[in-house]
Amino acid sequence: MDIDDKIQKIEDEIQKTPYNKATSHHIGKLKAKISKLKEESLQRKSSGNKGQGFHIKKTGDSTVVLVGFPSVGKSTLLNELTNAESKVGSYQFTTLDIVPGVMEYRGAKIQIFDVPGIITGASGGKGRGKEILSVARTSDLILIVLDVFNPQHLDVILKELRNIGIRPNEIPADVTVRRKKLGGVNVSSTVPLTHLDQKTIRSIINEYGMHNADVLIRDDVTMDKFIDALELNRAYIPAVVLLNKVDLVNDSYLEELKKYIPDFVPISAEEKQNIQYLKDVIFGNLNLMRIYLKPQGKKADMEEPLIVKSNSTVIDIASRLHREFAKNFRHAKVWGKSVKFPGQKVGADHILEDEDIVRFIIKK
Ligand SMILES: Nc1nc2c(ncn2[C@@H]2O[C@H](COP(=O)(O)OP(=O)(O)OP(=O)(O)O)[C@@H](O)[C@H]2O)c(=O)[nH]1
């Protein structure tokens, strides 16, 4: 029996088992088993395909990946957003290889990848699923591209992404597990747990080979999220749904769709509709900010901002500039939204905001 058969067999068993208090620990154990098998299957696939996968050199400030079925307009969109010269064809599977492009926006260099069209079963190795696997898992944002006439593909794509360990738009549950030598499994939580009982938690923990551990739970987690928290390989990545080719439909069609997909960005890559707004959405979801540097006695360089992650501190910026800078840091002066008055003196841990101007004062 291969791994997929094993997974199917356990899934069938879960289907047949009624879910209640008495069976919860058993179902927890089965779900943990499935999670481990899927992980094993992923590991095998990626190691078995050495050399064939895409090796992408990450450049720029962030990376974004376009995921969608063939012919939904990914190449056309990539051309609109970036400087890449991607071939556009009106037949399926035009994208034969990965095409990175760079979108320059608000001073940031955002690298965008168009991966070959996802098809059902991609995560299982069908089509060119493993490419999606390697690219999407390491990206900072996933753009799920749908054709306006095939919105039902969203469910398939989300399922495929989950199968390769991606948890789009989820935040990891706050669970810590400390292994110990003796004393059994001790579970404590800071909030009431409405989805899991002690027996189920123990049963899942045991399935992961741990028989002595302190488990601390700070969220009212579901069974699935608890299992995710025990897997090391989960990728929590923001995702945005794009509905392409809206030039072919009217407003009432889109209104109707909102009943099924509450949150999407309508675009037309071909007719260049809503592209500017999309760029804003991309930038916004990457959680980046622009910081301008002001050398001593000179005006700030307002041409080329430093692009950093939101909530970066003064010392984060200093470390990025130069190791010596951070080591000899004394204080900084800041102009902008993060301070009460212009030129305010701040310490290393001060959190900056978008478009702040910073001057470093370092020990001589
Ligand atoms: N009407 C309309 N057609 C579009 C739009 N975007 C793309 N197309 C057309 O859809 C077809 C497929 O576009 P591509 O950009 O090649 O699609 P793709 O998703 O990259 O396809 P694969 O390379 O097969 O994965 C082409 O004929 C495009 O001209 C759009 O916004 N409106």
Pocket of ligand 1 contains residue 75 by CB under 6 Å: yes
C-alpha dist (Å) from residue 61 to 21, 220, 287, 310, 316: 48, 35, 11, 12, 15
Quote the pLDDT of residue 334. 96
Ligand 1: centre distance to CA 85 (Å): 14
Taking the domain 62-169+235-285, which CATH number applies? 3.40.50.300
For a ligand 1 pocket test, name from 66, 75, 114 the mutation site with the most ligand atoms within 8 angstroms of its C-beta: 75
Greatest Cα pair distance, the chain, in angstroms, is 74
Q: How many CB atoms lie within 10 A of CB 22?
A: 9
73 and 269 Cβ atoms separated by less than 8 Å: yes
Say if ligand 1 is within 6 A of residue 48 CB: no
pLDDT in the model for residue 48: 47
Question: Residues 318, 324, 330, CA angle at the centre, nearest 5°?
Answer: 60
pLDDT tens for 142-160 read: 999 999 999 999 998 898 8
For domain 289-362, give the fold.
Answer: Ubiquitin-like (UB roll) (3.10.20)
Q: How far is the CA of 161 from the centre of ligand 1 (A)?
A: 22
Which of 136, 153, 161, 158 shows the shortest CA–CA distance to 70? 153
The domain segmentation of the chain, as residue ranges, is 3-48+173-230, 62-169+235-285, 289-362
Q: CA 111, CA 314: separation in Å to the nearest integer?
A: 26
* Nearest to 337, CA basis, from 351, 317, 326, 349: 351
The minimum-distance atom of ligand 1 relative to the CA of 95 is 23
Dihedral pair phi/psi, residue 39, rounded to 5°: -60, -45
Residue 84: predicted pLDDT: 57
Calculate how far, in angstroms, residue 90's C-alpha sits from the geometric centre of ligand 1: 7
Which of 184, 207, 158 has its CA nearest to residue 34?
Answer: 207
- What single DSSP character describes residue 268? B
Calculate helix-pair angle for 24-48, 223-230, nearest 10 degrees.
40
79 CB under 6 A from ligand 1?
no
What's the 88 CA to ligand 1 centre distance in angstroms?
A: 7
Q: Which pLDDT score is estimated for 95?
A: 46
Nearest CA to ligand 1 atom 6: 73
Alpha carbons 26 and 231: distance in angstroms, whole number: 19
Residues 278-328 have pLDDT tens digits of 999 999 999 888 899 988 778 887 878 888 888 899 998 888 887 777 888
Q: What residue owns the CA closest to ligand 1's atom 14?
A: 73
Q: Which helix (H) or strand (E) element contains residue 179?
A: strand 175-179
348, two tokens: 């290393």
Closest protein CA for atom 26 of ligand 1: 90
Looking at residue 40, its pLDDT comes to 82
Low-confidence ranges of the chain (pLDDT < 70): 44-60, 83-99, 116-134
CB 316 within 8 A of CB 308: yes
Q: Which residue has the tokens 């980046």?
A: 288
Q: What is the ipTM of this complex?
A: 0.97
- pLDDT for 139 equals 87
Half-sphere exposure of 119 (CA within 13 A, CB side): 9
Q: Look at the block and give the residue holding tokens 């804003």.
A: 280
